[in-house]
A = this chain, B = another copy of it.
């Protein structure tokens, strides 16, 4: 391999990250067309020929400017084979293919993408960042000006939103556009059937949501009626002169995990039974069908979906209905238990930002005649939160 080819791999690797490693490749071994790499710390990675060919990052396989793959594995015959595999300077693996193509892989990239059991386990562990909380949570609180001015403060705030799922911002202006300014510091806002921004104050004609009344609302997630519930919810308080109306929060993951431990059969039912949610109004008719507790690809709790007043009648087989109501009652009852509930009044110039698919929120009833109450809200998907964190982490680390 020439120096030019080496440089090419670095330059065009189809990934924005760099893959530093202290590990060196001790040797490689070709068998049945696949390559085994032996590292200096004893780890062994088997790389199948399809996988290696698929991930060739030479400028013919990966577009030099977009950094996206042009090559498709379906372009090569299934009997393609490795003719030669060589380690170069303990830091690169060079492959020559039966059709004459050549590929070069850096040690750092190989180490980061190895798929032996240990490597996969390490990656999984690194992704587990959820911190469960109960009533004694000290709500992570962030200063408006710092977050607006400083990327480090921004990152700290976003990590709390991701891992704890409940944050408070203080010292904010009470002007209408402030919330959008903060949200756009992360990314674009997700519009919904309630608009780009929604206003929470009692309306005379509260035609489409209990949220627009002065009623107490039970703990819930917003927009369970949509296939994808919004990830982040922002609620900025402009005025709060009314008596009552405190905010309360429950970590839905805490409840779900508790249920999983104490009543596994109920947990199972809530993860496997699709429930229909709907919100019908004169100009819209939204319906979704999904379980109340959602699991990710690794069977970890990754979503709560529940607003009691937006549920359609349960549609469960006759023989299963009693057990399902038992499970549903248990979950609802837990969301009312004081040991799970964090309660705090939101004052003017403060804002909640929480994971709407995890942290169930509610408000106490309030006295409409006692004073004005005006909140503005908007949503953002988890995609934007996670993308922003990853970009910030290219240059910053968490403070804590």
Whether B311 pairs with A69 at a CB distance below 8 angstroms is: yes
Does A206 have its Cβ within 8 Å of any Cβ on chain B? yes
Selected contact of A66 from candidates B54, B210, B226, B286, CB within 8 Å: B210
Interface string of A275-290 (1 = CB under 8 A from B): 0001011111111111
Does A318 have its Cβ within 8 Å of any Cβ on chain B? yes
For A283, the chain B residues whose CB sits under 8 A away are 391
Supposing A66-B210, A207-B65 touch, asked if A318 and B383 sit within 8 A by C-beta, the answer is: no
For A290, the chain B residues whose CB sits under 8 A away are 297
Selected contact of A321 from candidates B48, B123, B189, CB within 8 Å: B48
Interface string of A308-319 (1 = CB under 8 A from B): 111101111110
Selected contact of A285 from candidates B289, B309, B387, CB within 8 Å: B387
Q: How many residues of A contact B (CB 8 A)?
A: 89
Chain A 95-119 interface residues, beta-carbon cutoff 8 Å to B: 113, 115-117
Does A70 have its Cβ within 8 Å of any Cβ on chain B? yes
| Interface stretch of the complex, out of A3-11, A235-243, A322-330 | A322-330
Question: How far apart sit A322 and B48, CA to CA, in the bound complex (Å)?
Answer: 7
Nearest Cβ in chain B — how far from A389, in angstroms?
8
Whether A316 pairs with B115 at a CB distance below 8 angstroms is: yes
| Interface stretch of the complex, out of A86-94, A143-151, A212-220 | A212-220
Whether A325 pairs with B228 at a CB distance below 8 angstroms is: no
For A285, the chain B residues whose CB sits under 8 A away are 16, 386-387, 390-391, 394
Does A382 have its Cβ within 8 Å of any Cβ on chain B? yes
Whether B387 pairs with A193 at a CB distance below 8 angstroms is: yes
Selected contact of A67 from candidates B280, B296, B322, B328, CB within 8 Å: B280
Whether B63 pairs with A210 at a CB distance below 8 angstroms is: yes
Nearest Cβ in chain B — how far from A335, in angstroms?
8
Whether A73 pairs with B332 at a CB distance below 8 angstroms is: yes
Nearest Cβ in chain B — how far from A97, in angstroms?
15
For A289, the chain B residues whose CB sits under 8 A away are 296-297
Residue of B nearest to A67 (CB): B280
Interface string of A254-295 (1 = CB under 8 A from B): 000000000000000000001000101111111111100000
Interface string of A203-235 (1 = CB under 8 A from B): 001111110110100100000011110000000
Does A185 have its Cβ within 8 Å of any Cβ on chain B? no
For A54, the chain B residues whose CB sits under 8 A away are 313-314, 325
Residue of B nearest to A120 (CB): B315
Shortest 5 CB-CB contacts between residues of A and residues of B? A285-B390, A16-B280, A228-B228, A274-B297, A74-B332
Q: Name 29 A/B residue pairs within 8 A (Cβ), A-sorted.
A: A15-B278, A48-B321, A50-B325, A54-B314, A63-B210, A63-B309, A65-B207, A67-B280, A72-B218, A74-B332, A115-B314, A115-B315, A120-B317, A187-B193, A188-B193, A189-B191, A193-B387, A226-B383, A227-B383, A228-B228, A228-B381, A284-B391, A285-B387, A285-B391, A287-B386, A287-B390, A288-B383, A289-B296, A289-B297
